[in-house]
């Protein structure tokens, strides 16, 4: 019972802080919800095991050697993963020579990278906008406080301090949203860069093994 009371008191305190922050708290809260959704979705989507499955290149080369590479296999490879989509684009045009194969891989890679970076710009915008919204709320609150004191013709120090503390709530809320949003934006961007480098290496290996310039260790899936 005591635990429930603490929970209710905590919820009431949060609600009081939100009310004290004024209407500017609404866009800040919406930014926090959007940022949380983007972070969760991108962390799930950008898993290395999903984007660059291990041993995929070795499996593809085994299909080629066993003469099992068909249009159906290419279709399955495209649907398997982003790396599979890039490899399938190169394999579908491997008969046209090295340069055409590379161009097709680059075109597919551009589409894949665009998908990997989806929503990251929005997350960066939230990280930059949230503290500005908080600062705007604080400025508007300060204007309202001093306007009320000027109208009353007398400034009460405790009331002034209380009003300023309420005005600063929005700044604190904006920073509370912006800091994790900025951290995850940088973290996810770094993860995308690492995944792109890995896919580039695998694509180069594919071109070289298909053109007969190197062999593939099927046990490791590496050249």
What confidence tens digit (pLDDT) does each residue in 158-174 have?
A: 666 666 777 788 888 99
The residue ranking higher by pLDDT, 2 or 33, is: 33
Residue 152: pLDDT band with limits 50, 70, 90 = low
Could you report the per-residue pLDDT of 111-136, keeping only the tens digit for each?
999 999 999 999 999 999 999 999 98
How far CA 54 is from CA of 59, 64, 163, 218, 222, in Å, comes to 10, 18, 58, 11, 9
In a domain, 176, yes or no: yes
In a domain, 222, yes or no: no
Residues 87 and 78: their CA atoms lie apart, in Å, by 8
Q: What does the pLDDT read at residue 212?
A: 65
Q: Choose among 222, 165, 181, 206: nearest CA to 39.
A: 181
Ranked by mean pLDDT, which of 54-63, 66-75, 112-121, 156-165 comes out on top? Answer: 112-121
Residue 20 has which token pair?
């004290």
Q: Choose among 50, 165, 20: nearest CA to 115.
A: 50
Domain count, the chain: 1
In a domain, 191, yes or no: yes
Q: Are the beta carbons of 46 and 191 closer than 8 angstroms?
A: yes
pTM assigned to the model: 0.80
In a domain, 219, yes or no: no
Which segment of 7-16, 73-82, 83-92 scores lowest on mean pLDDT? 7-16
Residue 29 belongs to what domain range?
Answer: 2-210
In a domain, 220, yes or no: no
By CB atoms closer than 10 A (0-12, 13-18, 19+), residue 123 is buried
DSSP one-letter code for 213: S
In a domain, 223, yes or no: no
In a domain, 115, yes or no: yes
Strand partners, 222: 217
Average of per-residue pLDDT across 60-80: 81
Q: What does the pLDDT read at residue 119?
A: 93
């Amino acid at each position: 019972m005591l635990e429930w009371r603490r929970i209710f008191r905590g919820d009431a305190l949060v609600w009081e802080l939100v009310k004290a922050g004024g209407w500017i708290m609404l866009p800040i809260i919406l930014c926090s919800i959007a940022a949380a959704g983007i972070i969760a979705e991108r962390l799930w989507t950008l898993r290395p095991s999903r984007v660059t499955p291990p041993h995929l290149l070795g499996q593809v080369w085994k299909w080629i050697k066993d003469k099992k590479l068909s249009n159906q296999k290419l279709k399955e490879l495209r649907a398997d993963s982003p790396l599979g989509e890039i490899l399938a684009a190169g394999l579908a045009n491997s008969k046209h020579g090295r340069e055409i194969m590379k161009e097709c891989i680059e075109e597919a890679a551009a589409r894949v990278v665009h998908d990997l970076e989806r929503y990251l710009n929005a997350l960066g915008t939230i990280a930059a906008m949230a503290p500005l919204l908080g600062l705007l709320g604080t400025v508007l609150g300060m204007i309202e406080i001093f306007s009320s004191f000027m109208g009353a013709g007398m400034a009460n120090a405790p009331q002034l301090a209380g009003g300023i503390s309420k005005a600063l709530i929005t700044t604190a809320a904006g920073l509370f949203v912006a800091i994790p949003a900025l951290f995850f934006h940088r973290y996810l961007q770094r993860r995308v860069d690492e995944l792109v480098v890995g896919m580039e290496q695998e694509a180069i290996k594919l071109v070289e093994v298909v053109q007969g310039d190197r062999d593939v260790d099927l046990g490791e899936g590496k050249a």
